[in-house]
Amino acid sequence: MKRLKEVFDTMKDIISSELGEKKVYDKDLAKALGVHQTTLATIKKRGKIPYDRVLDFCAKRKISINWLLYDQVIDSIRDETEKFARIRYFNDIYASAGGGAFNYEEKSEYISIDKKILEHLGINNAKEIEAINVLGESMEPTLKDGSVVFIDKSDKSIKKGGIFVLSSNDGLFIKRVLYGIGESCDIISDNPAYPIQTMPKGSFEVIGKVIGSVSRLS
């Protein structure tokens, strides 16, 4: 990263171009930063970059802060950023054989996933993908307790089977669904210690299909 003097020299060059290539003094730089000239002198003496002021300077001129501080070309930053997709992650939501409804009012955050991983999972639109936690051992060894599962909210068709996140009066749970011919479905745990449940087709809501997971190594 550039030193303070280098950053200020570059900022003076920018201001100079705005003024028709005129010579730029500290008073001009202070004005551009929104500080008094004596404050600028104190900043220079301390040698610490005033990031809030520099960010405002860049924002007003639509200049990349990375370019100003690191000489990074904006296209290279864009190329690196576009390698990742942002997935909404509900850190406080757990799905199990029970455990509460899927509440979009819950606090969420975003995690970045390499787009190549999403392509491997057959995901083309990351906006439809969300992530929650697994609670319990009912889906082991397929899904481990404490792992994070990725849900495709655009895929709610249970007729072809698969693992889905379901919501019912009993709570939120992750199970393998076997679509029945009649009015009910078999709700299956991959862990043979858990019995198969039979549920009426209208007794639960399909949140989405589980298309991948990540877990800690034992």
Backbone angles phi, psi at 79, to 5 degrees: -60, -40
Domain 4-80 CATH class label: mainly alpha
Lookup result for tokens 């078999």: 186
**Mean pLDDT of the 181-207 span:** 90
Contact 204, 179 (CB under 8 A): no
**Mean pLDDT of the 3-8 span:** 91
Q: What is the pTM of this model?
A: 0.58
CATH 2.10.109.10 region(s) of the chain?
A: 84-214
Tell me the CATH number for domain 84-214: 2.10.109.10
| Per-residue pLDDT reduced to its tens digit, 72-103 | 655 554 555 566 777 888 877 666 534 444 55
Tokens of 29: 């730089």
CATH 1.10.260 region(s) of the chain?
A: 4-80
Q: Which residue, 178, 95, 162, 159, is CA-closest to 122?
A: 162
| Per-residue pLDDT reduced to its tens digit, 19-74 | 888 889 999 999 999 999 999 999 999 998 999 899 888 888 877 787 888 776 55
Name the pLDDT band for 217 (thresholds 50, 70, 90). Answer: low
